[in-house]
Amino acid sequence: MRPKGLFIIAFVLFAASACSKTTATTGTPPTTETVVPMPEVEAPSTTKPADLVEPEHELDTIDGLEVLYIGHSFGQPFARNLEAAAELAGVEGHEQHIIFRGGENGAPQAMWEAPDQQTIIKERLDTGTVDVVVMICCSQEFKETGGQSDQAILAISSYALEQNPDTRIGLAMPWADYPSTYPSVDEHRALTDAAWPRYQQLAEDIGDELGAEVFAFYHGAAIYEVRDWLEQGLLGDVNSLIGSRENAVFRDDKGHAGNLAIDAGTLIWLHAIYGIDPLDPPALGDHDVDVGEIASAALSLPTP
C-alpha cells in the first residue's frame, strides 16, 4: 500500500490526456461522434480503425448494447474501434456514441462544468436508451483529492440513471502521456499503477451510493504490455516506441496509440463491457503477434 502523500504527488504529475479530431467508425448501426468545438487548434488525427480479420468459425451471438463514451483521445480510438471489433466477436447490434474533447478538457469534470458540453451529454442520455456510459480518468478533483472524490462522475452517473435505471457506468484508466520521457515501461506505468486502486475504489463507492453497477477497467495496462513486449523484442513489425501507427507503439510524442496498441486496448473494452475473454475472438487486426495474448496478459497482471 503506497503512502497517501506519494499517491497525491503522483496525481499532480499524472496528465494522461490528449487531443485529436477523427471521423466516426463505419458500421451498422453507425457510430455517432460529437466533437465539441474548442478555442484551441487541434491537429487532425491519423488514427483509423485497424483492419479486422474475418472469423473462420461460428461464434455465439451476443446482444449488442448502446454505449456512450465521454472523453478525450486516450479513450476515443477504442470507442471508435469497438463497433467493428464487437461484431467480429459475435456481438449483434452494438451501437456506439462518442462525445469528444481533446486533452484535459475531455475529463469528466471539465465536460460537466462546461454548460454547452453538459447539454450535449444530457441530450444523448435523455433518449433513455443508453446501456453503458464510459468516462475516462482523470478529473482535476480526482487528482487534487488523491483519488478520493469525483463529483462530476457522480453527477453524470446520477443523470444517466434517472433516464435509464439499468444503465451501467464504466470508468476507464488510460496510460501516462509522453512515453519517451520514461526510460522503461516500469517507470512509464508507475503513476497510473499507483492511481488504479483508488480508481477502483471510486467506482465501488459511486456504485454503492447510487445502487448501480459501476465498474473500472484499465486499458492503459494493455498499452504498457505492448511496450513491454517491444522492450523484449517480441513484436515483429512493431519495432519502435514512437513512429508510424503501423510500426510503433505510439504514433507521436504525446503518446497517441498505434494500431497494435489500439487493438490490444479494444479487447480490454470488449472484456469490460461484454465480458468477452481477449483470447476468444478471432484475430483482431493484421499483426505479427497475437493481440489477444497481449490483452490477456494485461488483464492477468496483479493489482499494484
Predicted pLDDT at 34? 67
Predicted pLDDT at 287? 94
Q: What are phi and psi of 211, to 5 degrees?
A: 65, 40
Predicted pLDDT at 5? 42
Query: In degrees, to the nearest 5, what angle opens at C-alpha 221 toward C-alphas 209 and 184?
Result: 135
CA distances from 208 to 10, 145, 211, 244 (A): 27, 20, 5, 44
Beta bridge partners of 8: none
Which amino acid is present at 301? L
Predicted pLDDT at 46? 35
Mapped onto helix, strand or coil, the DSSP state of residue 81 is: helix
Beta bridge partners of 32: 97
Evaluate whether 102 touches 20 at the Cβ level (below 8 Å).
Answer: yes
The domain 27-36+57-300 having CATH identifier 1.10.3720.10: the answer here is: no
**The C-alpha cell of 260 is what?**
497494435
Count of other CB atoms within 10 angstroms of residue 56: 7
Domain positions in the chain are: 27-36+57-300
Predicted pLDDT at 199? 97
CA torsion angle 158 162 163 165 (round to 10):
90
Count of other CB atoms within 10 angstroms of residue 46: 12
Which amino acid is present at 97? H
Digitized pLDDT (tens) for each residue of the chain, 304 residues in all? 334 443 443 444 444 333 333 333 333 345 666 655 443 323 333 334 445 455 455 557 899 999 999 999 999 999 999 999 999 999 999 999 999 999 999 999 999 999 999 999 999 999 999 999 999 999 999 999 999 999 999 999 999 999 999 999 999 999 999 999 999 999 999 999 999 999 999 999 999 999 999 999 999 999 999 999 999 999 999 999 999 999 999 999 999 999 999 999 999 999 999 999 999 988 888 899 999 999 999 999 765 5
Angle, helix 220-231 to helix 259-274, in steps of 10 degrees: 140
Q: Encode 88-105: b = buried (16+ Cβ within 10 Å), e = exposed.
A: bbbbeebbbbbbbbbbbb
The distance of Cα 138 from the centroid of its chain, to the nearest Å, equals: 12
Residues with Cβ within 8 Å of 260's Cβ and at least 6 positions away in sequence, in order, are 226, 235, 238, 249, 285, 287, 289, 291, 294
The rounded distance, in Å, linking the Cα atoms of 15 and 69 is 19
